[in-house]
Amino acid sequence: MNINNISEYLAQHGVRPSYQRTEIYKYIINNKSHPTAEMIFKKLAPAIPTLSKTTVYNTLKLFTDKNLVRILTIEENEKRYDAVSVVHGHFKCEVCGGIYDFDIDLSNIDEKIPDHFSIKNYQINLSGICNNH
């Protein structure tokens, strides 16, 4: 994802681009690790002393509400965040814990879903062992 002006991008999506919000969004789009709220807080707090966990959680909720990020629930006990809006899947390595994006073609998914179903959300999550192990 390549955004030239994050503040402007946030404003275009109805988000007041405070310094903290801009830095949180920048972190999410620049880190393909699909970070948790805790990861975001731990990484940004040393550089932003006024940042609180509450601010991170509230900002992530706002970003989710404005469709700027998607929540990934690859494991039941943790929420991760992804700013990539194009259709793709996720692979989690059971050894290193890394989460990787992969392309997937869902262009004909409507043909496979019964007519009386209405898709509201989807996630394609796979797990196994990455090629680094």
Q: What pTM was estimated for this model as a whole?
A: 0.79
Q: Is the pLDDT of residue 73 over 80?
A: yes
What single-letter amino acid sits at 69? Answer: V
pLDDT digits (tens, 9 = 90+) for 97-110: 888 889 988 888 77
- The whole-angstrom separation of Cα 56 and Cα 65 is 14
Average pLDDT of the segment spanning 37-59: 97
**What are the domain boundaries of the chain?**
6-82, 88-128
- The whole-angstrom separation of Cα 11 and Cα 3 is 13
| Cβ–Cβ < 8 Å for 29, 22 | no
Q: Is the pLDDT of residue 71 over 60?
A: yes
H helices of the chain, in order, are 6-12, 19-30, 37-44, 53-65, 109-112
pLDDT at 106: 80
Average pLDDT of the segment spanning 106-115: 81
Q: Which fold has domain 6-82?
A: Arc Repressor Mutant, subunit A (1.10.10)
Q: Is the pLDDT of residue 67 over 60?
A: yes
